Amino acid sequence: MSTYLKELIEKLPENERLLINILNCVQEERGFIPQPLLTELAERTGVPESQLHSLVSFFNSFRTKSAGKHRICVCYGTACYARGAPLIYDRLADELELDDGDDTSPDGLVTVEKVYCVGACNQAPLIVEDGQIKGKIKSYQVPFLIKELRKKDQDGRNE
């Protein structure tokens, strides 16, 4: 872990070595921010660990639990909400058998998140699947989407 953090910091240009950038990199690479890393970051930077926890908890985009293989963001912006984002989310939660308060399917395949406006309101309601926007989603399409993801996952494993 300790070389990991060092390398990560050194990869950043010198004037961008801010806590938030470092945390962003970790989030992007690992999908979440592990606790030992915060402890180490606190030691390295001299910022109290409690303040790092505060920082991480402030932003919704930082996760503290490990994420699934794929990531589906359901847009909950005003336009998407009005056009039925909750229906899509509920259907996703149903299909993936998410427990209350849990956002990753038990098999670790998909993590479902709510996000607030991705800026493509003309395609409302939309989801972002692994960084790719899919617009005008109907809730009945959700099972097919998940089936496709499962298939992709299976194919990837067989190769």
Partner 1 sequence: MKDCVEIIADGQLIAVDRNITLLQALRDNGVNIPSLCFYPSLGGYGSCGLCVVEVYSSGNWLLRHSCLLYPEEGMQVRTATLLVQKQRAQAARLLLRRGPFHKKEVEEMLIALVQEGADVGDLLQKCDSAGAAGEGRAVPLIAGCILCGLCVRICRKVGKGLLTFLGRGENLRIGMVLGQKDDPCGNCRACRRICPTGFITPNARCTFTASLY
Asked if 34 and 27 touch (Cβ cutoff 8 Å), the reply is no
For partner 1, the closer CB: 57 or 154: 57
For partner 1, the closer CB: 56 or 142: 56
Contacting positions for partner 1 (CB under 8 A): 35-36, 39, 42, 48-51, 53-54, 56-58, 64
CB of 135 to partner 1, least distance (A): 29
For partner 1, the closer CB: 49 or 102: 49
Four-point Cα dihedral 133, 98, 92, 58, nearest 10: -40
CB of 152 to partner 1, least distance (A): 31
Helix, strand or coil for residue 134? strand
Q: Which secondary structure element, helix H or strand E, spans residue 114, and what is its range?
A: strand 110-115
